[in-house]
Amino acid sequence: MNEFEGQPFIMNFSDHTILEGEGEYERVKEIMENESYVGCDWMVRSEVTIDFPINSCIFIVHFYQNREIYIVEYQSSSVSDVFYNSDIPCLSMWSQDKGWNCPQPHPDLIRDATEFWKHFWETGVLDSEYLDEKCGKRIVDYTDYIDEEDDE
């Protein structure tokens, strides 16, 4: 079982390739190449469900051959307050741990809930070429997260 910030979670996928590769980029790439997609651009579309002990969320995610991940649909676990929402950070942490790039929300999602997605972009939880262009270069400041005792 996976864990995020002390919460156990189970991640499920609708796509058999992602399931078979256990979400790991290198394994998914190998499966795709074995299916004659060597040297080709490919994309795997999967519904991703994250089940936490008291709620769950659903994403539609596109996984690309160049490690890019795009969130194209999102059904929240009912926590709309960005400071208490575990869905997005959990998906981001999981994807990067599995060898994918930091996820990006589709521009249509951002246009529908700009402040929600902008928060996760500003804090470095998500990437977004759309917000990079719209808002300029972001500066992610991690100094609040660095323990001063670690510097000694």
What angle separates helix 114-122 from helix 87-97, to the nearest 10 degrees? 40
Residue, of 136 and 145, whose pLDDT is higher: 136
Q: Is the pLDDT of residue 117 over 90?
A: yes
Percent of the chain residues past pLDDT 70, beyond the cut = 88
Q: Which domain holds residue 41?
A: 2-145
Q: Residue 142 pLDDT > 80, yes or no? A: no
DSSP string, 56-67: EEEEEEEEETTS
How many domains would you assign to the chain?
1
| Residue at 66 is within a domain | yes
Residue 25: pLDDT above 80? yes
Asked if residue 60 is part of any domain, the answer here is yes
Cα–Cα distance, 12 to 1 (Å, whole number): 12
Helices (H), the chain: 16-20, 25-34, 87-97, 107-112, 114-122, 129-135
Asked if residue 152 belongs to a domain, the reply is no
Q: What pLDDT is stored for residue 118 in this prediction?
A: 94
- Residue 151: inside a domain, yes or no? no
Asked whether residue 131 is domain-assigned, the answer is yes
Please give the model's pTM, rounded to 2 decimal places. 0.85
Cβ contact 4:29 at 8 Å: no
Mean pLDDT on 79-101 = 87
* pLDDT at residue 84, rounded to an integer: 76
